[in-house]
Structures are given as C-alpha cells and as structure tokens.
Amino acid sequence: MHFVSGIIPVSFIYFPYFSCDEVRKLLKLYQKFFNTQTLQTPAPDTAHNKVTFFEKELKELYKKADLPEKEFKALLFEALENFKANDRGYIICQNEEDLKNLLAACENSELIAFDFETSGFDIIQDYPVGISIAPQPGLAYYLPVAHKQVGLDTYRNLDILLVKKCLKNVFSLKKRFVAHHAKFDLAFLQRLVQVPTRIEDTYILQKLIDVNAPAKLKIMAKKYLEVEPATFEDTTGKKKAPETPIAVLGKYCCADSDYTLRLFPILEKRLERLELREVYELELKVLKVLLGMEVTGVLISEKKLRQARENVNLDVLDSQKQICRLLGKEINLNSPSQLLAALQDFGISIENTQEDTLKQLKGKYKIISLILEYRKKIKLLNTYLKGLPRHIKPSTGRVHTSYNQLLTAGRISSSSPNLQQLPKSKRAKELIRGSLIASPGYKLVSIDYSQMELRVLAHFSQEPELIRAYLEGEDIHQKTADLVNIPRQQAKIVNFGIIYGMTPVGLASTLEIPEEEAEDFIERYFKAYPEVKAWKLKTVNKARKEGFVETISGRKRALPGLNDSTFWKRRDRKSVV
C-alpha cells in the first residue's frame, strides 16, 4: 500500500477531531521529521530519506490501527492536510518561549491588532476561549485558554497566569492597538488585563467612511485585501468555539487579527481624506462610555415587575371579558381571523384588523377603542413585564442591554432588550420605569437635551421665528400651536415629525385625524416657518448633487442612488436633521 508519493507539503493549517492514538503518533513523527515548527521543507538531499522513513511508519501504523484501508487513508489524509496551524506565520503558543517571541515581535511593531474567540456573544455570562495578537502583517500568535481538549488535539491550553502575564506585558507597551468591533473584545480583555487608554477600531472607521457599507470583517477583508476569508461556521463545522480544536480556531482567530491589522492603515487613510478625524475621535470616546454602560447594566426590581405583571394581567382579562361581552361571544382576541369575523358579524365593514385600519374607526365604534387599548395592554404585558425578567443575568441581577453604535441612521440604539423605546404612556412609565432602580446609596438621574433637534433646525435653517423663540425662552411647541392654530400636543408632534420626514399619511395616523387635515397642518407649519421649508429643499438638492448629507460635526451620510426616480418614491422622507 502506497501512502506517500512525494514530498508532503507543510502548509497544513487545520486540526481535526480524531480519537485514534496511532494517528497521534503519526502526527508527532510528521512534526519531527519535517520540522513543521519552523515551517521548513526538508532539504533536497535528505527529503527522499525522510519520505521513505515516514512511509514505512505509515505502513506500520496501518497494521496497528485496525481500520479499513479506505477509512485509514481518509483519516490520514485529513490529518496531514489539517495538521499544521502555523501557515502564513499563524503560530499557536504552547510555552513561555512562544510568549517571549510574541512579546519581542510586539516590541518591534508600531501597530498591534488583537481578536478574541469566546464561548458566546454574552459579555457577562460567556468567557474567553482564546486570543490572537498580530504584531505584523502575516504574523499572528494564538493564545488558547479555554478549549475543551477533544480527541487528537495535540495542542494544549496555556496556563491562565502565563497568559495574563504576557497580555500585561504586551498591552503595557507604548504602541497603537486595534480591534474590529473593539467594544466586544474590550469587554473580555478587561477581565484579563488593564486596558490601554486608546484602542483603534476598524468597525468604527468603516462606518464613518460609509455608514451604508457592510462592516463585517470578512466582507471588508475580501473587499480591501482581496482574500477569501473562511466563515466561522465553515471553519468550525458549526461547533462552538470551546469544542473546536485549538489549531482550527487558532488559525481562524489569527486571520481575524491579521486582517484587522492590515485593514487599519487602509481605512485610516480614507478617513483622513474625508476629513473625519474629529468625528472618529469622538466615536472612540463614546465606545468606552457604551462599554461601561453595558458591563454595569441596569438594576431591575423583580418584585415591582412581578406586581406590575399581576395587575396588568388582571386588566387584560377584564378587557377580554368586556370586548367579548359586546361581541356577544367568546373569541380569541389575539387571532386576526377570529377577530375579523366577529367584527364583521358585529356590523363593522372592515377588511383586516391591522392597527392602522382599526385607528381609522376608533371614533366611530367603542369596541374598536377597547380592542386598541387591549392590544396596548397585551404588548406591555408580554414584551416588557414578562420579557424583561428573562434578560436579568443571574450573576449580577441586572439587565445588560447592548448599545449599538453607528448603525445606518447614525444613532445609538439598544437591543437584547431594547431599553430605549419603552412604552410612553403614563401608566406604562409608572409600571416599567418604576422597576428600574438604583443600587443602595445611589440615585437615578434623568438628563435630556431640551429639544435638541429643533435647536439644530433653527441653527441650520436660520428661521427667524425659531431663533427668536429660543433666544427669548419661549415654549416652542406653544409658539407653533399658536402660529398653526392647533393644540400644543399636536404642535409638538408636528414639530418633531416634520424634521424627521413625516408625511401627511404618517401624521394623520399618529394624530388619528383625516389625511387632508394632516396635510393642512404641514402646509400651515411651512407657512409659519418659511425658512425651514427653504432649507429642507436646499438640503435635498445639495444631497442630490453631491450624493451625501453632512452633520454639523462633519459626519457624512452617503445616499446612493439619490437621483434614481424610484429613490424619491421610497426615501424622500429621510430625516434632514
């Protein structure tokens, strides 16, 4: 049986799961005879002898392995193809000598990239599995710390004390450090070592350069570096990081830090050309604030939530009984088909039970108002009063939401759970916000800018009436109410709605008024503030010409396809402030 037909390549990079001890011995022989630790191919004068000896050992192993020839050869081929993890200078650290080499390489570098592989995406409950550090393009070191040793994995986790000592030495260097989506990596890095005062972020750079462009590392690497990065799923076979062999995950993690290192100077140059340095510096400061907020979390009173849940649940049951009593039969109010049939039997001509449809009939039928109120209670109960407790971490007793920086709209958002858009009704505020509490000895303080968007609008548009109102301390919503001749509460909605591109249809739905009346409100608004309308048209025309809009701080928002005829049908309501 012939296993080897020539010099075996040494650019092996993955490491599979195998349980055969004989193959383990084989790989050790391969490592010994082909000097894979230094990535050196055998010299020509000795190569033939090494291959001959190696093939002889294979035949001996085959006899002992007690496997069918086809299965053994497949096992062998995969082992050889996947064995070496140091391809392109991706090195798995296994001892103090490797860590010393890592530190020496970092000392000779001005920019150092790093990346974490973790057990999951929860910065509170999950843990680091390994970290890669790239001090030079094409060179990266992987420090495994929490892999589950499975099968034939000849690599081993490093002692965590050695890792912490190494990281302390590396991150105390007076160098520039960079990560991709640094907020996530910093959450785990700060568990192991004191974080440097400044960390660059290729994710933020990409989002500032073009907020519409994909900012995933693999997509960026393919675009800018002309490489074909492997996905996490392709690399690990959909296994979780801890169960993935060290060399497999090590190569993947090293590639990520390597790509990040190589991307940074490319993106930084583009940032400078766009004159966005000041904005970038601001975003780096925001990143640290958001990280602190995420790690600290929000303290929730489970007792208050439980009491609120019980009260609202009773309200829901009462509403169900009241609605069913009016309908004259018991139905599932959460079933659109049952509700539609019941309303039609009730004598209401309606095609669906969507909220917008029901709102148009709110003033005509008492039962419609009851149904809309019932839905608010159900959402309050299921989404918040039942949903929030599921997000409380047992280890902290707090909710740790994720704050998303630089999404498409350029605004910070909150997810898992969304704490930014809690219900605004008076009762909902009392029930939900009342359950958000401070630690003993602390107080919660609510601070908000006063009508910031409208002040920015006054500055940009130079509308005399708005400027005068702010300089003289007038109530801007009351002023609009007086000028447009509408109630103050409606004026407030009109004030904010118009600058965020609200159309007559949207305003009519929000105020629950006819569309013609909403259109009249908007016309009267622009008549009262003519410079606002002029500025809005000027901004749109400028954006059409230049392809982007710009904030007061210089942040640019590209609007691709702005001059396409279909664009304005879909997107002319884009916010201008």
pTM: 0.77
**Contact of 180 with 132, CB cutoff 8 Å:** no
Q: Under 8 Å CB-to-CB from 199, ≥6 apart: which residues?
A: 177, 178, 179, 182, 186, 284, 287
**Contact of 242 with 148, CB cutoff 8 Å:** yes
Q: How far is CA 11 from CA 5, 38, 80, 88, 259, in A?
A: 17, 11, 10, 8, 19
Take residue 165 and report the two structure tokens written for it.
């000592």
Q: Tell me how far apart the alpha carbons of residues 331 and 347 are, in angstroms, rounded to a whole number.
A: 16
Q: Tell me how far apart the alpha carbons of residues 92 and 244 are, in angstroms, rounded to a whole number.
A: 14
Q: Which 8-state DSSP code applies to residue 563?
A: T
Per-residue tens of pLDDT for the chain, all 577 residues: 444 433 333 322 222 333 344 454 555 555 554 444 433 334 444 444 544 555 666 666 666 666 677 666 655 554 454 443 334 589 999 999 999 999 999 999 999 999 999 999 999 999 999 999 999 999 999 999 999 865 556 789 999 999 999 999 999 999 999 999 999 999 999 999 999 999 999 999 999 998 888 999 999 999 988 888 988 988 888 889 999 989 889 999 999 999 999 999 999 999 999 899 999 999 999 999 999 999 999 999 989 999 999 999 999 999 999 999 999 999 999 999 999 999 998 888 888 999 888 888 877 889 999 999 999 999 889 888 888 999 999 999 999 999 998 876 667 889 988 888 777 777 887 888 888 899 999 999 988 888 888 999 999 999 999 999 999 999 999 988 988 888 898 889 888 888 887 888 888 878 878 888 888 888 988 999 999 999 988 988 998 888 888 888 888 887 777 777 666 555 444 444 4
Predicted pLDDT of residue 127: 97
Mapping DSSP to helix (H, G, I), strand (E, B) and coil, where does residue 188 land? helix
